[in-house]
Amino acid sequence: MISKSNEFARRILNFPAIRPCESVSFSTLLTSLINLSHTICSFKSKTFFTNKKNTRVSIHLIETLVVFLEEIRNGSSRFEVSLSLCLSELHFIFQKIHFLLEDCVRDDSRLLMLMKSDKISSHFRELMRGIAVALDVLPLSELDIALEVKEMVEFVRKQALKTGFEVEKDDRISMRRILRIIHQFEHGIGPELSDLKRVLEYLEIRSGNECNKEVKFLENEIVQECEKRDLGFLSSLMAFMIYCRCSVFLNLESSRNTTSLQQSGGGSSREMIKCLNPDDFRCPISLEIMSDPVIISTGHTYDRCSILKWFKSGNHTCPKTGERLICVDPVPNHALKRIIKQYCQENGILFGESDSPNRESTRSSSGAGSPAAEQAMKLVANFLVQKLLEGTSEEKNKAAYEVRLLTKTRISNRSCLVEADAIPPLLNLLSSIYPEAQDNAIAGLMNLSKFCRSKKIIVENGGLTLIVDVLKKGIKMESRQHAAGALFYLTSVEEYRKMIGRIPEAIPGLMELLQNGPNRAKKNALVTFLGLLMYQENHWRVLSAGLVLLLVNLLTSCEREDLISDLLAVLATLAEKLDGAMAIISADTLPIIIDILGSSNSRTAKEYCVSILLSLCINEGADVVPLLVKNTSLMMFLYSLLADGTSRSSKKASSLIRILHAFNEKSSSGSRASTIPQEQFVHVW
């Protein structure tokens, strides 16, 4: 009956308490209330970083009430009806107190809880007043309990009314100090290091890792916040903590922490995370790290938004197995979500953030959120660039890591770092002999390459050759993966597509990544190929490098439908040109394409299959159409697409059906002519 809190579903300082059912028995209500009281009392042993006096007083009063509750459980049942009203109200209030105490002991929200001290004090005051009101309706004088117990109840009632539950003096001093620092930020003034340290010491934040937890918590709060006024306040607090993380802890972190990209945590849980394959945290549909994993009836797990989009598209099958689903209601996978959240914390990833190179994160913001945050970020950017230029190897690595973190979240952060001229020293760091320094630098550059102004600076500073060098020879596979992502963003500029294609190692490097890299790296390589193929000259380059044969080999061995769709997308682009169509036919691809068309559960994959077949008919009709006509199952697949496919795939299937029918009609009339003339084909895209 106790309402269990859920850190993933409940926002801080929100108390979703549930009133006990009116039909609940007295004994059940009383037992649940006693258990809830003991849970609240167990917070005595936990660490409260702020609002210490209010929490201590509240726990003490509830601890005193436990004696009364135990007493009436062992007493007479004559007054159960009159007691139920009081106990029901106490249960409702105790749930809220439990939620409030949970928030007070969180180790990732210390700064916000400090700055919300007025609101928290008000919550304690209102909840304690509620306890006093509930105790007022007790028939205390008529209860058959010890006099001492009655006096204890009366003591609790009076103290709940009498105690002011005001903000503590030390909390108030720290709040004012923080507001003064934020005011300095607004005027572009860097605060004194001693002032920052006083705040951090008061909050018991002793490392950059703990600082980072605060930043990530505030970032997630900003994502969920609707009130514009609160957005500015949260942005200022996050900027304050980012500034502390960079200025106070950059030189204090141990080399183990600064070179590992891993956050501190429990030893056993960290070892467990290391043993897991990070690819298991990615949604099979989107290939993104799941922010809200859910299980469907086949037992497979997907990200909620991806599987719901799959269902809304008219699919009622499991994307991995193809099994038809009777029930399409997903069930939350809280255990996996907790593990993913810890993995993200230990690897510097914002929980829930997309890191796909083919789209911007929806959580990115074009603005800093407040004047203080904007100015603080400029100060941080200048500080980091100075460390990148003049720091030790360890400081350069840590500064690159900070750039990597900052550029993942906000466009305004990228803008500040570009204005501070962070790109040249990051490019210099690509040649580092230290794996983590190289990886941090290329990951930061990949994030910066999403920003329009960054692209030109990267290219003008010789960045293309350096990035391709990491793609080909990067120390870590993750670095090569990030290099492919950076090249993808750079291919959005036509001139750079040409320049990348002309670098001798670029296409072979992408092919090697596609062949040997993990799924995330393969996806980055494929989308980069799609970007390069937007420039016509790159078609013959990839064909001469043998890309078609590699794609076909991967199609026969790949089991992931999302990757199969990406492989088909590249083939579909190549098939649009005559030389590409010839290479695809020479690789004996037709049976594979037709088999995927008939067996795949992905609408996207089927559309690409039809696109490839239609392009082959248009470019190499005399050789392809007779082969397609001989395949007895193809027409069934095409008619199925007419009924169940997307509007685009239906149009393409219709065009292909007309081509095949036209060939049959000519064959049946004895015509020896080649298939339908080129101008009669309908080229639908």
The CATH number of the domain where 318 resides is what?
3.30.40.10
Residue with tokens 């607090």: 237
- Beta-sheet strands, E only, within 236-383: 293-295, 301-303, 331-332
Number of folded domains that form the chain: 3
Contact assessment for residue 27 and residue 36, using Cβ atoms and an 8 Å cutoff:
no
Q: Does 248 map to a domain?
A: no
Residue-level pLDDT at 316 = 81
- Final residue belonging to a domain, choices 167, 183, 200: 167
Q: Does 208 map to a domain?
A: no
b (16+ CB within 10 A) / e for 456-493:
ebbbeeebbebbbbbbbebbeebbbbbbbbbbbbbbeb
d(CA 237, CA 182): 8
Residue-level pLDDT at 486 = 94
Residue-level pLDDT at 333 = 85
List alpha helices for 545-633, DSSP H. 547-557, 561-575, 578-586, 590-599, 603-630
Give the sign of the dihedral formed by CA 192, CA 196, CA 201, CA 207.
negative
CA distances for 557 relative to 551, 563, 567, angstroms: 10, 11, 12
Sorted by sequence, the CB contacts under 8 Å of residue 104 that are 6+ apart come out as: 48, 49, 50, 51, 55, 113, 120
Q: Does 364 map to a domain?
A: no
pLDDT along the chain (685 residues), means of 10: 50 89 87 94 93 94 91 69 85 95 93 95 95 86 83 91 92 95 93 93 91 89 72 91 89 43 42 60 81 86 87 81 80 83 64 47 54 92 93 91 87 91 95 92 94 92 95 94 94 93 94 92 93 92 93 88 89 92 90 87 86 87 81 82 78 85 74 44 40
Prediction pTM value: 0.75
Contact assessment for residue 237 and residue 112, using Cβ atoms and an 8 Å cutoff:
yes
Burial class from Cβ neighbours inside 10 Å (0-12, 13-18, 19+) for residue 537 reads exposed
Contact assessment for residue 628 and residue 590, using Cβ atoms and an 8 Å cutoff:
yes
Residue-level pLDDT at 77 = 56
- Final residue belonging to a domain, choices 167, 193, 223: 167
Residue 281 is given by DSSP the state G
Sorted by sequence, the CB contacts under 8 Å of residue 532 that are 6+ apart come out as: 491, 497, 500, 501, 507, 538, 542
Q: Does 660 map to a domain?
A: yes
Contact assessment for residue 72 and residue 30, using Cβ atoms and an 8 Å cutoff:
yes
Q: Does 121 map to a domain?
A: yes
The CATH number of the domain where 593 resides is what?
1.25.10.10
Residue-level pLDDT at 358 = 43
Residue-level pLDDT at 226 = 61
Residue-level pLDDT at 465 = 95
Closest CA to 446 of 405, 400, 483: 483
Sorted by sequence, the CB contacts under 8 Å of residue 159 that are 6+ apart come out as: 57, 61
Q: Does 423 map to a domain?
A: no
d(CA 173, CA 368): 27
Q: Does 597 map to a domain?
A: yes
Residue-level pLDDT at 25 = 87
- Final residue belonging to a domain, choices 143, 167, 191: 167
Q: Does 363 map to a domain?
A: no
Which residue range is the domain that position 598 belongs to? Answer: 559-668
Contact assessment for residue 152 and residue 68, using Cβ atoms and an 8 Å cutoff:
yes
